[in-house]
Structure formats: C-alpha cells, structure tokens
Amino acid sequence: MSKSFFIETYGCQMNVADSELVTGLLQQEGYTPTDDIDTADAIFVNTCAIREHAEEKVHSRLGTFQKIKQRRPDVIIGVLGCMAQNLKNDLLENKPYVDVILGPDSYRHLPDILQRNQQQDHVVDTRLSRFEVYDDLFPSRQEGINAWISIMRGCDKFCTFCIVPFTRGRERSRSVDSIVAEARQAVAEGFVEITLLGQNVNSYRHGNAAFPELLEAVAAVPGLRRLRYTSPHPQDVTEELIRVMAANPVVCNSIHFPLQSGSDRILKRMNRTYTRKHFLDLVQRMRDLIPEIGITTDIIVGFPGETEADFEDTLSVMETVKFDSAYTFKYSPRPYTKAADYTDQVPEEVKSRRLETLIAVQKRHTLEQNLKMVGKVVDVLVEKESKKSDRQWAGRTDNNKWVMFDKGTARIRDLVPVRITAATGVVLHGELQEG
Ligand code: 5AD
Ligand code: SF4
C-alpha cells in the first residue's frame, strides 16, 4: 500500500507554495497526502523563522509530534523550511524524535528519504543552492481560485532585521517560459487568478527579462482573469512596472508595498535603500497612474535605536499615504542578522505601546479607505461562501478588498458587478447587479 504523508505549513505564501511543491513531488512518486495526522506514515512541518513568535509556534507543535512518535515509533517526523538551518543543532541534540531536517533548497531528497523506509539515521540537509528553482516540478494546489506561482527564490537585499537571506539563500529566478507554462497549466486546471510569488518578487530577472516583461507575458495567458504579485521591494518598483500595471487590465490594481519605517535614519540602519521621500513619491506616482490602486504595507516598530521622533515619522507617512491595510510587527532580533547585534535595543513595553498606537491608526485608515468604495459598482471575483451566512458569497475586488453579497445567480469563479453599499474596518458589503 502506498505510504501517506501529512504536511503542516507556517509562515508566508512562499511556504504555502513550497508545501504545494513538496506535495506535488511526493504524489508524483506515489505517496498519498492525508489530513489525518494520526495515521500518516510521515509528518512534515514546513517552518518559518521570520520572528521569534513563529518559531515558538513550531516548537510547541513539535511537542505534539513527539507524543505521536512515542505512540508510533515508525512514523517519520520531518522539519522543513526556514527553521531547518537555525535549529539543526538543537534538533539533533535535544529532539531526537525528529528524523529529517531539510532546508528550502533540499526538497528533491524527500522521496528518497521516504523510500529508505525506516529512519536508520537522521537525515539533515540545509545546504542552500545558487540554482535550485524547482522549475520542472508542478505543485499540487489546494485552493480553487488563486494559483500561487513561485517565480524566484531567495533574497540578496540583506535588510539588517531579516533572516531570509540566511534561511533562503541567494536570489535566483525561473525562466519566463517555464513560468508561463505553469500559468497555462493552472488556468487549464480551472484557476482564474494567479499570484506571482517571490521573497523579492520584482527583482526578478532571467536573461534579458525583468519583472514588467514577465508580468505582461503571464497576463497574456488566455483565460486568466486576474494577476497579482507579492512581495515587491520599493527599490525595484520602476516607472515601467507602474505603467504595465496601469495599462494591463488583467494585472490587478493592488500592491503590497512594505514601508517598514517612515524615518530616514531608521530606514538607513535597516539597509532598506530608499528614503521616506522616495517611498512617498512612488505612492504618488502609482496613484496618479492607477487612481483605484489599493496599497497595503508592512511596518516594524521598535527597531533598535528607534526614538519617539522616528516613530512619529512612521505615523506621519501613514497619515500621508493612508494604507488600505497594514501588517504591523514588533521588531524581533534574529540570528545572523546585523540588527540583532545593535546595542540600542528598544524595551519590550515601548514596542508594545508603539504597536498599539500603530494598530489604532491603521484601523482608522482602513475604515476611511473602505468607506471611499461605498456607492461604487466594482467587479468582484466570487471566491467562496461567506463564513457568516450561507446565503452570501465572499469575493475580492480588483484592489484586493473582501466583499460580502447575496448570492443571486452568481457562481464561484464568476467576475460580477457589485454595488458597494456599506463598509466596515474589515470588509465591504454589496449588492449583486443582476442582468
Ligand atoms: N522582526 C519583526 N518583523 C520582521 N519582519 C521581517 N523580519 C522581522 C523581524 N526581525 C517583517 C517585515 C517583513 C515581513 C514579512 O516581516 O515587515 O516585510
Ligand atoms: Fe527580508 Fe529585506 Fe529580503 Fe524582504 S527584502 S526578504 S525584508 S532581507
């Protein structure tokens, strides 16, 4: 009988995409995915190392896996992804029940490892590759509307707070042809939206092709209704990219545009390579060419050395831009990174207070931006049933806001006109425009 595996995923969309890749790879070799952890022959956890909190969650899960291993000594336990490198020694010394440790560039070994049947010994491979892009593998996708397509891996930016360049290694991109082929296949399988993924998606480069050309090539795939991408770095947002977004109806009017800090002094210490002014100029340019654009962001509070004045600078950029939404984080020192060694770490209670302020400001801005949509008729892609009511659909606007509306004759995957009738700080409500 074929062996079964269970995989659990933490962290960013790259990890979700990587788990789909691993699932595809194992299925191709005859293994069967299962949702039942108690009967699985192998249990994998795809991990995230971006903040301490993410690692803590995985540690507590490993406690559960240890108990399963005590009951069923034959089960194979594998730790995959970004924590592998970090935890290699700890896992080998203190967590002997972990059989397999594989970094993000080593997934090809998985079928072999399972093949070897029993864990004679621990298998550890956290080497990073300068070439691996898994070009030839087709992911086994879970969702039905949006297909995540990984177009590049790694990051060479070395922001001083970020562990990614160490856990995922150097930047490398797939060829345009292989990405377009995967996009065609996804559309043939029924996906109507694609999100191109990369740790640094817009620093994509393969041969002579840069990110704007790739975007145009994927947008041209017949049958594709919507194309998104995440996450870009402001440094690589070019005039050409903004123009391609503005000119191409398939490319959504939405961008995740990570600010991190509004203070030039802190941006410099973060090695973000742009200034507050450059960031604001780019926002203005995007809004000039794409008036409906939805802009979301990431912001860190309490980076080492951040003063009240620096924090005020971040708040003032927020007031100027009024982001549609923001992921907000307390700075968390990470191994290998420069900022972890800075001596002027900010006390925890200061970080907490700043985070609370930030969240309150963003809540107000999200509501303000959502209210601007009221009265408009916008195209909504029907994605799923609303969690609140089985009489309603939930779908997203082009600028990436969720809308709830009575189902009427609309079906999942339809792109339908909806009049926005109300907005909260979280979602929009609307009425389907039938006929
Ligand atoms: N501490 C807090 N937040 C971090 N991020 C990355 N590294 C850290 C860290 N050490 C945030 C950044 C990034 C997002 C994915 O996670 O805002 O854009
Ligand atoms: Fe981390 Fe900066 Fe690279 Fe993003 S661009 S993955 S924040 S180092």
Spell out which residues line ligand 2, taking CB within 6 angstroms: 155, 157-159, 162, 164-165, 199-200, 233
Q: Which amino acid is at 364?
A: R
Query: In a mutational test of the pocket of ligand 1, which residue from 53, 55, 162 has the highest number of ligand atoms less than 8 Å from its CB?
Result: 162
**pLDDT score recorded for residue 397:** 98
Q: Are 199 and 14 in contact (CB under 8 A)?
A: yes
Q: Which atom of ligand 2 is nearest to the CA of 231?
A: 4
Judge if the beta carbon of residue 161 lies within 6 A of ligand 1.
yes
Is the torsion defined by CA of 301, 303, 304, 310 positive or negative?
A: negative
Q: Which ligand is nearest to the CA of 328?
A: 1
**pLDDT score recorded for residue 117:** 57
Residues 6+ apart with CB under 8 A from 391: 406, 407
Q: Which atom of ligand 2 is nearest to the CA of 260?
A: 7
- The per-residue pLDDT for range 302-334, each reduced to its tens digit, is 999 999 999 999 999 999 999 999 999 999 999
Query: In a mutational test of the pocket of ligand 2, which residue from 162, 230, 274, 332 has the highest number of ligand atoms less than 8 Å from its CB?
Result: 162
CA distance 282 to 292: 15
For ligand 1, atom 16, name the residue with the nearest CA.
Answer: 50
Residues 6+ apart with CB under 8 A from 159: 260, 270, 271, 272
Cβ count within 10 A of residue 133 = 20
Q: DSSP letters of 202-232?
A: GG-EETTEEHHHHHHHHHTSTT--EEEEE--
230 has which bridge partners? 197
Ligand 2 centroid from CA 303, angstroms: 15
CA distance 169 to 185: 28
Judge if the beta carbon of residue 260 lies within 6 A of ligand 1.
yes
CA distances from 155 to 119, 241, 263, 416 (A): 33, 20, 23, 38
Judge if the beta carbon of residue 298 lies within 6 A of ligand 1.
yes
Ligand 2 centroid from CA 197, angstroms: 13
Which tokens go with 310? 């620096």
Query: In a mutational test of the pocket of ligand 1, which residue from 329, 348, 355 has the highest number of ligand atoms less than 8 Å from its CB?
Result: 329
**pLDDT score recorded for residue 2:** 80
Which tokens go with 84? 């592998």
Q: Are 329 and 300 in contact (CB under 8 A)?
A: yes
Ligand 2 centroid from CA 13, angstroms: 14
Residues of the chain with confidence (pLDDT) below 70: 1, 117-120
Q: Which ligand is nearest to the CA of 345?
A: 1
CA distance 173 to 200: 10
Ligand 2 centroid from CA 50, angstroms: 10
**pLDDT score recorded for residue 118:** 59
Judge if the beta carbon of residue 332 lies within 6 A of ligand 1.
yes
For ligand 2, atom 5, name the residue with the nearest CA.
Answer: 157
Query: In a mutational test of the pocket of ligand 2, which residue from 14, 50, 166, 200 has the highest number of ligand atoms less than 8 Å from its CB?
Result: 200
**pLDDT score recorded for residue 92:** 79
